[in-house]
Amino acid sequence: VMRADASPKKKSPHREGRLDRRKQRDRSESRKKRKGKNSVKKREARSMPRGRFAHHQAAQRDAAKKELEVELAGGGLPTYLEFVDDKEIPDTQQFVVIVPRETKLETEKNEFDQLYAIAFVRNRANLDQSIHVASLLLEDLLTWEGKMDLLMINACLAERRLNKFLLFERFILDTIGSHFCVEGRKRAETASDEAKSMHLLLVPPITAFAQAPSSDCVSRLQLQCAFFDLQFVGEEEDMAKAAHRLERALTQIFLLYSLFQEEAAEWSRRLFLYVLDLFSTILASYIMKKSSLITNPDGVGGQICQTFDKFVKRAKELSGEIFESSEDRANAEKLVFSFSVVEILEEEIDALLDLVRSLNDERRDMTMYRAPLDECEQVLTEVVTYLDENCLASVVESGSLEALRSIVQAVVAFTKKLDKLLPPLPEGNE
């Protein structure tokens, strides 16, 4: 060690040569010592059997493993990561969620990311609150799978398990979970509350309930959620079932309006408007199906307006009780008037279909002179073209009285023309 106040000695060639010789001697001695030690280890390794050496290493590993397990059980070492694969959400405040993807994500470079989605839950307080709100609303319907869906929504995982038989529960869980998820809350704030779909109608009351859950509001919210299946009425093939569901919806609207007039008066009004619009859409779809029988007579028809007549009468009565503004009442009256015109249109289409059935009668297959029959087929083509060009479905759905009357007059004219061209049925084979 050199002191800070000492002056360095001057170098001389003789002194430097002596130092170099000393360093070389030290290197040679250390090289001999290492060589001697290695030879001793090699002799010991040759004398020790290989099986005994492997057994000695395994014993050391087992001892270290047991010692580590004892320390973990006693809390001697901290646990940094623990895997939980049972049907319980971890009780820690923070945890990682790993979910297998339904389809392989090819955009990811890593193979693990292609097969699994990963999210990190920083604070489980929002998750616990969302489960509490969902349990108040769904009660016993909230299953373990539902809690897992809430967990995935809170973790902002895009992929969620969907089942068409559980869409109602999934919709409620998605709405509640999105409220406690920052990204979902932003989407809910930008969503419109117009009566365009049952989703948009139900999101505001469910979100309000999630903000301030109370058992006093559960009955009202459950009654509101009972209208969720209205969005599937248009997919019903049986007209009688569709009409019955719409009639039951009017009864439920009146019950909701009577019991919770102060809390749900405006919501009932918007729901009633939605049901009227839904009925117009369903009516237009069934009229289009009946008009398609002109060129495809093998289809199954039915009396449309007669099936929905009870609904229209009940809607007219209920509109006077729920609607307060003159504009809403005028819309209801317009629906009643347009429905009466659609009744006339259906009668004319039925008359035309009677002629179509006569035209397709098997007794005409052996007719030799087929020019009149070809002219009848041309008239039917003109009818279908006219209905397509004048947008029959849109006219019925909008309830435009002038356009409906114009279509009725055109169908009447086509029916008369076809009746004149259609020859009488032969009594026997020609």
Give CA–CA dist 193/381, Å, rounded.
44
Portion of the chain with pLDDT greater than 90, in percent: 26
Which tens digits make up the pLDDT trace of 132-190?
777 887 777 777 777 777 777 766 654 444 444 467 777 777 777 777 665 444 444 34
Quickly count: other Cβ atoms within 10 Å of residue 310's Cβ.
14
> What is the structure's pLDDT at 19?
56
> What is the structure's pLDDT at 382?
92
Give CA–CA dist 278/396, Å, rounded.
12
> What is the structure's pLDDT at 55?
60
Which tens digits make up the pLDDT trace of 79-104?
556 666 666 777 777 777 777 777 77
Range of 89-98, 165-174, 225-234, 279-288 with top mean pLDDT = 279-288
> What is the structure's pLDDT at 284?
93
Q: What are phi and psi of 122, to 5 degrees?
A: -85, -35
In three-state form (DSSP H/G/I as H, E/B as E, the rest C), the secondary structure along 223-266 is HHHCCHHHHHHHHCCCHHHHHHHHHHHHHHHHHHHHHCHHHHHH
> What is the structure's pLDDT at 360?
84
Residue type, 127: L
pTM over 0.85: no
Give CA–CA dist 146/149, Å, rounded.
5
Residues 6+ apart with CB under 8 A from 423: 372, 373
> What is the structure's pLDDT at 141?
72
> What is the structure's pLDDT at 430?
42
Confidence of residue 65 (pLDDT cuts 50, 70, 90): confident
Confidence of residue 192 (pLDDT cuts 50, 70, 90): very low
Confidence of residue 351 (pLDDT cuts 50, 70, 90): very high
Which tens digits make up the pLDDT trace of 374-427?
898 899 999 999 999 999 999 999 999 999 999 999 999 999 999 998 888 776
Say if CB 344 and CB 396 are below 8 A apart: no
Confidence of residue 277 (pLDDT cuts 50, 70, 90): very high
Would you say residue 429 has pLDDT above 60? no
Would you say residue 59 has pLDDT above 50? yes
Which tens digits make up the pLDDT trace of 308-348?
999 999 999 999 888 888 888 888 899 999 999 999 999 99
Query: What count of Cα atoms within 13 Å lies in the side-chain half-sphere of residue 242?
Result: 24
Confidence of residue 245 (pLDDT cuts 50, 70, 90): very high
> What is the structure's pLDDT at 87?
64
Which one has a higher pLDDT value, 5 or 265?
A: 265
Which one has a higher pLDDT value, 284 or 15?
A: 284
